[in-house]
Structure 1
Amino acid sequence: MTVLLTRNLTANDAATPAAAATHRPTEGSVHSWDLSTGVDGPGTRFVTFLSGCPLTCLYCHNPDTWRMRDGKRTSADAIVAEAAKYTRFIEAAGGGATISGGEPLLQPVFAGELLHRFKHELGLHTALDTSGFLGVRATDALLRDVDLVLLDIKSWDRATYKKVTGRPLQPTLDFAHRLADLGKKVWVRFVLVPGLTDDPANIEGVAAFAGSLGNVDRVDVLPFHKLGEAKWEALGKTFTLHDTPSPTPEQVATAKSIFEAHGLRAV
Structure 2
Amino acid sequence: MINVHSYESMGTFDGPGLRLVVFLQGCPFRCLYCANPDTIDIKGGTPTPPEEILQMAISQKAFFGKKGGITFSGGEPTLQAEALIPLFRDLKANGIHTCLDSNGGIWNEKVEELLGLTDLVLLDIKEFNPERHRALTGRGNEQTLRTAAWLEEHARPFWLRYVLVPGYSDFEEDIRSLGKHLGDFKNIQRVEILPYHRLGVHKYEAMDLEYQLKEVKENTPEQLLRAEQLFKEYFENVIVN
User: What TM-score comes out, normalization by structure 2 length?
Assistant: 0.95
The residue correspondences of 1:68-217 to structure 2 (distance < 5 A) are 68-91=42-65, 94-121=67-94, 123-217=95-189
Which of 244-253 and 205-214 deviates more?
205-214
Match of 1:237 among 197, 209, 231: 209
Give secondary structure in 2 for the equivalent of 1:69: coil
**Counterpart-to-counterpart distance in 1, 2:173 and 2:62:** 45
Percent identity reads 38
- The Cα of 1:81 is off from its aligned counterpart by 1.3
**Counterpart-to-counterpart distance in 2, 1:212 and 1:138:** 28
Cα RMSD between the aligned structures? 1.4
Partner of 1:16: none
**Counterpart-to-counterpart distance in 2, 1:96 and 1:108:** 19
Count, aligned residues: 239
The answer (yes or no) to whether the contact 2:162–2:193 under 8 Å persists in 1 is yes
- The Cα of 1:214 is off from its aligned counterpart by 2.1
Are residue 46 (structure 1) and residue 20 (structure 2) matched? yes
Counterpart of 1:261 in structure 2: which amino acid? E
**Counterpart-to-counterpart distance in 1, 2:204 and 2:84:** 26
Gap runs ≥5 in structure 1: 1-26
- The Cα of 1:174 is off from its aligned counterpart by 0.7
Q: Deviations over 1:145-168 (max 9, x none)?
A: 211110000001111100111001
Report runs of 4+ in structure 1 exceeding 4 Å deviation.
137-140
**Counterpart-to-counterpart distance in 2, 1:140 and 1:194:** 33
Q: Deviations over 1:93-124 (max 9, x none)?
A: x2011111100111111222332222212x11
Counterpart of 2:42 in structure 1: which amino acid? M
Q: Deviations over 1:51-93 (max 9, x none)?
A: 000001011100100012111111001111112211011126x
User: What TM-score comes out, normalization by structure 1 length?
Assistant: 0.86
Gap runs ≥5 in structure 2: none
Counterpart of 1:63 in structure 2: which amino acid? P
Are residue 247 (structure 1) and residue 216 (structure 2) matched? no
